[in-house]
Amino acid sequence: MIDSRDEALQRACPVLAASLFGALPAMENGQRVIVASNGVFLQVKRDWLDCIERIGGTDVALPLPYGGVTPSIQFTFGTIPVVLLEAFIAAGRAGLPNEIAGGLIYSAQRHTLRLAIYESVRSTAHGIDYRLPHLAADESIAVDLHTHGLLPAFWSATDDRDDRSVKVTGVFGNLDREQPSAAFRLVVNGMYRPLANPWETAVQAVATDVPWPTLDALGFDVSEEWII
């Protein structure tokens, strides 16, 4: 007899064998583990995200009778308007030398993103405590943002402790310069995938009259290596 606690855990994160002849069944928001002929994969679904990542291998000497799975990242919002991130950078510069925080909030009804600047409880040049904004029933935070003021953009130990959910995170630094530094990553329950962004390329200016293409279409790292 299966322990009821194990049943609850398996409902929260079921294990599925990859189909050899058909497609994977659709899933609701949540997560599941997929055992495939080419490894073990984690699929995470949110209103704004459908992500399949390889989290482990299988013994190649054991031919499992399952299909193969290809890692993928799909963002429901499609594009991020650059004007939203430029507005966040402008708010960060207005708050210098202290840090600010904010987010791009996705509406499942409207399929759009909006920028919210979070209310600061305590802010210094080296950290910030803040209150999250009120969200409508169909809204969720897709991209979590903060600044490092005059310091470069990097991931601190505090960031690593805070980033334990599912979201894209971004940090902007060197806001006293015309071209700020930036770092972005996809966070999946404590696993981090670095994502390239226009502010770390050789391009010295980012057009504000065009949308930012879907993140992985910008040349975001699509390797199977995660930083744990």
Q: Contact at 8 Å (CB) between 3 and 149? A: no
Residue range 61-85: average pLDDT? 86
How much is the average pLDDT of 50-76?
A: 88
Whole-number Å distance between alpha carbons of 218 and 208: 16
List CB contacts of 7: < 8 A, sequence separation 6 or more: none
How far is Cα 47 from Cα 154, in angstroms, rounded to an integer? 28
Classify domain 80-218 at the CATH class level. Answer: alpha beta
- Rounded distance between C-alpha atoms, residue 33 and residue 150, angstroms: 42
- The torsion angles phi and psi of 198, rounded to 5 degrees, stand at -60, -25
More confident residue, 59 or 85: 85
Indicate if the pLDDT at residue 209 is higher than 60. no
pLDDT of 57 strictly over 80: yes
Domain boundaries of the chain, sorted by first residue? 4-75, 80-218
Q: Quick one: average pLDDT of 5-21? A: 92
Give the pLDDT confidence score for residue 147 in this predicted structure: 97
State the average pLDDT over residues 81-106: 94
pLDDT at 181 > cutoff 90: yes
How does DSSP classify residue 199? G
Q: Which segments within the chain are labelled E, that is strand? A: 15-17, 30-36, 39-46, 49-56, 72-75, 80-81, 101-107, 112-117, 119-124, 127-131, 139-147, 166-173, 181-188, 191-195, 211-212
For residue 25, say if its preceding peptide bond is cis, omega within 30 degrees of 0: no
Task: Say how many C-beta atoms besides its own lie within 10 A of residue 154's C-beta.
Answer: 11
Residue 39 has pLDDT above 60, yes or no: yes
Residues 18-29 pLDDT 10s: 999 999 999 999
pLDDT-derived band at 227, boundaries 50, 70, 90: low
pLDDT at 222 over 50: no
Q: 59-68, 169-178, 208-217 — which is least confidently predicted?
A: 208-217
Dihedral of the alpha carbons of 195, 200, 203, 204, in degrees to the nearest 10: 140
pLDDT tens-digit series, residues 138-172: 999 999 999 999 999 999 888 888 888 899 999 99
Please give the average per-residue pLDDT across 185-201, as a whole number. 82
Please say if the pLDDT value at position 204 is more than 50: no
Judged against a pLDDT cut of 70, whether residue 211 lies above it is answered with no
pLDDT category of residue 82 using cuts at 50, 70 and 90 = confident
Whether residue 193 is predicted with pLDDT greater than 90 in this model: the reply is no
The two tokens of residue 153 are 């953009």
Taking residues 200-211, report their average pLDDT.
49
